[in-house]
Chains A and B, each alone.
Chain A
Amino acid sequence: MIPVDYYIVLSAILFTIGALGVLIRRNPLIIFMSIELMLNAANLAFVAFGRYYEITGQQSFYTGQIFVFFVIAVAAAEVAVGLALIVEIFKTKKNINIDEMNSLKG
């Protein structure tokens, strides 16, 4: 059986890729995908830890799996709002490049 460490290292790598994607990429859609990657990295960690605690016989192992469902549901709600915002901006200015969103400055 694969030790829990492997899953956690993988999820840490995914989380880092996601975080870097948010900081480096310039397209809101890609940034958005990177955020989803961060959330899914957390989901992977949750499920792996949940399985780990199931094997070690801890009662609360199901918390890990339940949290994942909450994250998925909330992420879907966020998608609805986020995509609506992106579509609105596209309708107003016909492009969605983050670098050109500079009407606010001081």
Chain B
Amino acid sequence: MQLDYKDFFIILPLTILIAWACVLLLADLFIPKERKGITAFLAALGLVVVLGFTIAQTGHQGTSFNGMVILDGFSIFTSSLILLSGLLGIALAYGYIKRMGLERGEYYTLMLFSVTGMMLMTQASDLIIVFLALELLSIPLYVLAAFARPDLRSEEAGLKYFLLGAFATGFIVYGTALVFGATGTTSLSIIFGASPSLLLTIGSALLLIGFGFKVAAVPFHMWTPDVYQGSPTAVTAFMASGAKIAGFAALWRVFATAFPTPSVDITEVLWVLAAITMIVGNLTAISQTNIKRMLAYSSIAHAGYILMAFVPYGNKEVMPVSIAAGLFYLFSYVVTNFGVWGVVIALEKFEGAGLGISDYAGLAKKYPALAAAMTVFMLSLIGFPPTLGMVGKFYLFRAVIAGGYSGLAIIGVLTSLVSAYYYLRIVVNMYMREGDPVIERETWLDITTAVTAIATVGLSFFPQWLFLLAGSATLKWF
């Protein structure tokens, strides 16, 4: 086999990013300790350039490296979303890690490596690449979760994330082995044509368990609250969106393109998985008093909503619409998510103080703009107009009903109603209780919160445009 420039064109953004991360790792050695902000700017610069290259690839598609990686509208859309969350992640981290005394240059390098893994995940067209991308995105995240060492909570979060993540990897590798046994190949395009067999069904079920851990679907969610709470908040924000996008991208890629045959057996399982994820996530969130923990359960619940888009995955008529709805929801979740974590970071103090829900009392009187932004995010997470979250839920429920799963849509609506209780509790705290919160003002943090709040409301008036964009992000079918 000959490699030519076209092979490299398809993975060009990835290549640039990983090379840039390696350069940055070395360059960081020469940046003095008190000026680590330079590393942050260089990392952000790399992400912007790569985002430009990724968007420039729009309209191209094809496979390279003997069908190992693939470029299509889906990979371009999800990669852009991942790069965007990388940028927002750096913006949130910039002031935070300085304030918390964690300012070490490798923070940004690890983030870049993780982003590369996530992008590779969206382009994977072979189970070998899925596995490698998964590890490339996870291993830096394990380190980032424990980045606040010797803080015990952060170390504990890192170890828990690591053990459960490696456990999930075990399932994915074994599932891949069985799929290889059933079909004689690991290439998604050839698995697509394989005849159904018991081994293939078991293999795809094991893969589903593995990805279930990664996207934090119930009952594989036990690690999420602990890891989200213990990790440095900026890492949590990045982890909550980046790892989710990559996990869902892999689920879509692997299940929609390669496993339509076992869909008869798997669809029912996905139905139950989506339903219990929504129910358990929302109900457990009610009793939380720590905001990071509450948001962890909220992210589990949102994973449940996105999982709804998978349920009709064997149905080729409904699938393109439901993928578009899922991508739209993912976008709205990412934007809102970074905004919320921005507000959380603004209120956080040393040693995990300022993270209780009661710490938000009186915020509206003292900092009306911040409280208004937080209200917008909370409404978006509930799915209340006029926010992106509402539009996202609308498209999602519509796709699910079109797929013939009205029962699931009803569960979705009811759990959204339940979620209003714990989201609005924060709003009530901010506006109706007396208190004296103190916030940290950091330029990049303020900008992130403001931009995401404006986007959450503003983009909800032009959803059609964004939905068409998500709709053009189709998977390349074999």
Interface centre among B169, B174, B177, B230 (most CB of A within 10 A): B177
Q: Are B177 and A61 in contact (CB under 8 A)?
A: no
Interface residues of A in 68-106 (CB under 8 A from B): 70-71, 74, 77-78, 81-82, 85-86, 88-89, 91-93, 101, 103-106
Name the CB-closest residue of A to B181: A49
Q: Which 7 A-B pairs have the closest CB atoms?
A: A38-B170, A45-B177, A106-B293, A42-B173, A49-B181, A42-B174, A104-B226
Give the interface SS of chain B, mostly helix, strand, loop or mixed: helix
A28 touches B143 (CB 8 A): no
Interface locus among B149-157, B255-263, B268-276, B305-313: B149-157
Chosen A-B contacts, 12 in total, with CB atoms closer than 8 Å, are A39-B173, A42-B170, A43-B177, A64-B180, A67-B128, A70-B131, A81-B162, A82-B162, A85-B155, A89-B155, A104-B229, A104-B230
With a CB–CB cut-off of 8 A, which chain A residues contact B135?
A: 74, 77-78
Task: Indicate whether A103 sits within 8 Å of B185 (C-beta atoms), given known contacts A35-B163, A39-B173, A42-B174.
Answer: no
- Give the bracket for the number of chain A residues in contact with chain B: 35 or more
Flag if B181 contacts A8 (CB, 8 Å). Answer: yes
B159 x A78 contact (CB < 8 A)? no
Contact A85 B131 (CB under 8 A): no
Is the pair A42, B185 in contact by a Cβ cutoff of 8 Å? no
Least CB distance from A25 to B in Å reads 11
A contact patch SS:
helix
Are A89 and B186 in touch, CB under 8 angstroms?
no
Within the complex, the shortest CB–CB distance from B471 to chain A, in Å, comes to 35
Which partner residue on chain A sits nearest B132 by CB separation? Answer: A70
Question: Across the interface, which residues of B come within 8 angstroms of A70, CB to CB?
Answer: 128, 131-132
Q: Are B163 and A63 in contact (CB under 8 A)?
A: no
A81 CB, min distance to chain B CBs, angstroms: 5
> Do A106 and B225 form a contact, CB below 8 Å, given A39-B170, A81-B143?
yes
The chain A residue sitting closest to B292, CB to CB, is: A106
A106 to B228 CA separation, bound complex (whole angstroms): 12
**B176 within 8 Å of A (CB atoms):** yes
List the interface of chain A (C-beta within 8 A of B): 8, 11, 15, 18-19, 22, 28, 31-32, 35, 38-39, 41-43, 45-46, 48-50, 52-53, 58, 60-61, 63-64, 66-67, 70-71, 74, 77-78, 81-82, 85-86, 88-89, 91-93, 101, 103-106
Closest residue of chain A to B142 (Cβ to Cβ) is A81
Number of interface residues of B (CB under 8 A): 45
Give Cα A46–Cα B152 distance, bound, in whole angstroms: 39
Given the contacts A8-B181, A45-B181, A89-B155, A101 and B139 also touching, CB distance less than 8 Å? no
Chain B 108-152 per-residue mask, 1 if CB under 8 angstroms from chain A, else 0:
000000000000000000001001100100010011001001101
When distances are taken between beta carbons in the complex, the residues of chain B under 8 Å from A103 are 152-153, 156, 230
Query: Roughly how many angstroms separate A19 CA and B132 CA in the complex, as a whole number?
Result: 21
Question: What residues of B have a CB within 8 angstroms of the CB of A46 in the complex?
Answer: 177, 180
B219: Cβ under 8 A from any A Cβ: no
Docked complex: B287-304 residues within 8 A CB-CB of A: 288-290, 293
Candidate in A31, A81, A91 with the most chain B CB atoms within 10 angstroms: A81
- Are A38 and B174 within 8 A (Cβ)? yes
**Distance (whole angstroms) from the CB of B182 to the closest CB of chain A:** 9
